[in-house]
Structures are given as C-alpha cells and as structure tokens.
A = this chain, B = another copy of it.
Amino acid sequence: MSLVRRTAPLCLVVVCAGILLAPPVHTQSPPRPSSWLDPYRETAARLMQAATADDFAWRRLAELTDTYGHRLSGSDNLQRAVGWSLETMRRDGLENVRAEPVMVPRWVRGRESADIVHPPQHTLAFLSLGGSVGTPAGGLEADVVPVASFDELRARASEVKGRIVLFNAPFTTYSDTVTYRTNSARVASQMGAVATLVRGVGPTGLRTPHTGSVQYGMGVTPIPAGSVAAEDADRIVRLTAAGTRVRIRLTMEARTESDAMSANVVGEIRGRERPNEVVVLGGHLDSWDVGAGASDDAVGCIVTWEAARLMARLGIRPRRTVRIVLWTNEENGLRGATAYATTHAAHAADHVFALESDSGVFEPASLGFSGSAGARSLMRDVTALLSPLGLSELVAGGGGADIGPIAQAGNAPMMAYLGNPSRYFAIHHTPADTVERIAPQEVSRAAAAIAVIAYVVAEMPERMPR
C-alpha cells in the first residue's frame, strides 16, 4: 500500500526542557504521568494495537529467513535478501526506498572438519571462525594444549610451539568471553601454535558450535582458527587431565576472496515538518553462514522496519523523518555502518536519535539507552507508554555496532532493544538461530515498542537533547 498522507494529531503542548530535566519531585502520592505525552497517547495506542493484533511481523521474519536462509556478506543469499527487502519496503509504502551500495569482504567457509585422531576416533562439533585462513590442502595434525585463559597460555608458552591451542574458558557473559574467539589466534600464533580452537562462546547446548569473527592483527602469521562445542572442549580437557595425549586433525578450506558488492537497504517515512531531522532505526541484514540468522539479526530488521510499515499503514506521518536502515556486513567488517556514516557525514548532526535491535527479542526484554541526563529523562517518560507491553524499564547501554558511527558523529542519543541474553546467547552464531525459537508475540511486542518510541521521538516539538 502507498502512504496515506494523513498527519498525526497536531501537537499543541509546548514543553519546557528545563522543567523536564529537573529532578523528579517526590511527594506522598504517586507521580502523575508526564502530561507532555498526552497528545501522543492515542497514536501510541493505535500503533501498539496494530502491531500486536496479529502475527504479521513473525510471518515476515519467517518469509525472510525461510526463503533466503543465512546471509553472509558476499553471498548470493544476502544479495537476494537485499532485493526482496527493497521490493517489500516499496510495497509497504515506505518512501525513498533505496540500496546504498557498500563493498563487503567475502569470506568463504568451504568444507571443514576436526577430528580427534588420538585416542581414535572422534569427530568434533566444529565451525571455522569467520575470517580464518584454511589449513594446507591435506589438513594439519598436531597435539592439543588446552588452556583456560590467556594467563595460563603465557605460563605454558614453552609447550605451544607446533601445537593446537584449545582455549577452554567457561562461558560467563558474552562480553567477558568473546575475547578468546577474537584474539586467541593472534596470541597463540605469536607463540608458535599451528592452529587454535575456542570453546563455543555461549552456554553448553546440544553439541552446538558457535562461529563468529577472529582477528589476527597486523604482522601476525594467520593460523587456522575454529570453535568447538562445549562438550568437545570438556572431553579434550578430561582426556588431557587424565594424562592422555590428544591429537587433532583439522581440515579447513576457509579463505577470503575479493570484496563483493552489497548494500544498506534504506526506506523512510518522510517528516511532515522537519524532514531533514532523522530518527534512524534498524538492524543488520547480513548474518553468519550457519542457522538462518533469525535472532541475529533478521528479527532486528523486521521489528524496526515494522515501525515504518505501521506508520504507513495507519497514515501516521510524524514531524521528523523516520528512517529504516537494514545494514550490511555487521558480522565481519562493519562496512555497512562505516559506509552509512561516511555517506551521511554531512548530515550526521541531523540524526536526532538512533535505535538498533541486534540482541534478539526474546522476553523478558529491556531497553538500553545512552544519552545525556536530559535525553534520558525524556526517554523515561516515553517508555512509560510501553507498560501495556510489559516493557517500561530503561537500562544503561544503548547503542549498536551499526548505529554507533553515525550516532557518535552526530552526538545523537542511542537506544538498543535488548532481548533476554540467556536465550539469545544460547543460539548466537549457531545453526540453531532459526525463526521457530522466537514467539510471534515477542516479535510483535518489540515492533510495537519500537514504533511508539520512534513515533514520539520523531513527533515531539523539540528534538531530543544531545
């Protein structure tokens, strides 16, 4: 459908930022809901009602992930998903729908296997890490040195030369343990290791391997780097602890080919009064090449896109422009984010607010926010509108890898829609990242929340303070 050019109810309330920024007055009676929001309540309710009336958003997520599968940068699958997104945004009635071209790295997994050959014989649940080099064509074979930390590696430096190092750091949080995936090959290579294996960065699943990026760093000889399921790491550790020598054969065809053409997909609801001021929302369309990239991050694309689709369908045109961006290459290069910030550098200051959904929508979800105290106070008021969705708490830490560059350039407040991390990291970068793990109402409620936030921030008379 095309955009019906009805305008939102005219906002007559002029708010005073000074009052809004003052600390709340504590009285005996419960605080009165912020009256500056009154003009937005009806439209917010309509958006929430429309978003949660059916499972449209979930079905669109299934259509994307079922039809196009995983969408690694440089893959045909991603190119097809870009084409489908452009076509579908236009059908939705979004405006200025366009592909903003970006050259992206093309890493190819190829065939891969990892086997314990002594004691014979056990095939590991294994995934090469994105960006890894491959082994020689015939594979490589070496004994394993398991370590639980970088400190232990340094303590055992004399044992590492010619060996495969297994980094077996138990999963605590993603931010605490992802360093082993990212940095282990660089560190172990410098000590003479021939390859590294990393315990999957996630909780123990069902022999579930986790992939993700490895980084070698300048001047370091790149060595093959892969990840094994938690159970396989445990097995190697048990065997070596019992004094059994563990020898592994790795065969990896992983390689990096020439950069490929890709694109950020952009669609808008143009602002009725201040079209140059932009509320930017989005997720990333690319994914790892295992699973279907449903939670990471097709769902982030769908729930942010829904904000614009619902505005188009309900004839809501806020004061400012609402721009949806489905970024490319978040997973292994951030070229989409970089290109967006470069292309729009001259208009960075016009980005009044940026929201990314790249942590899934598993409930209980929360909203992370980064911005000035004034912006936070306003946003706390806005999120009070979301209480029908069971989502009204604002936590620290807004942002996202894709919105970061432009928001920092424009000094814009940032928000992250944060799905429940336990459920998210259980399937993060794994073959199990598929659509059926996400409940339709989780998708709908995320879309509803993001639509309301985007609407109010795009509609409020003064732009959100930096």
**Residues of A participating in the B interface, judged by any CB pair closer than 8 Å:** 62-63, 66-70, 76-77, 80, 116, 119-122, 125, 204-208, 231, 234-235, 238-239, 242, 244, 291-292, 426-427, 430-432, 434, 436
Contacts and interface: CB of A to CB of B under 8 A. Distances in A.
Nearest to A124: B431
A66 B238 contact: yes
Most B-side CB within 10 Å, residue of A125, A207, A238: A207
A436 B204 contact: yes
Contacts of A120: 69, 76-77, 80
A206 B242 CA distance: 31
A97 to B, nearest CB: 23
A345 B95 CA distance: 82
Contact of A238 (B62, B68, B208, B239): B62
A436 B431 CA distance: 21
Nearest to A122: B69
A234 B436 contact: yes
Given A68-B119, A235-B292, 14 more contacts: A62-B238, A66-B119, A66-B238, A67-B244, A69-B121, A76-B120, A77-B120, A77-B121, A122-B292, A204-B436, A206-B206, A206-B208, A207-B291, A234-B436
B231 A432 contact: yes
Given A77-B120, A205-B206, A431 B125 contact: yes
A138 to B, nearest CB: 17
For the complex of A and B, 6 pairs with smallest distance between CB atoms? A206-B432, A69-B122, A207-B431, A207-B432, A206-B206, A231-B434
Contacts of A62: 238
23 contacts: A63-B242, A66-B239, A67-B119, A67-B239, A67-B244, A68-B119, A69-B116, A69-B119, A69-B120, A69-B121, A70-B122, A76-B120, A77-B121, A125-B431, A205-B206, A206-B206, A206-B208, A206-B427, A206-B432, A207-B432, A207-B434, A234-B436, A235-B434
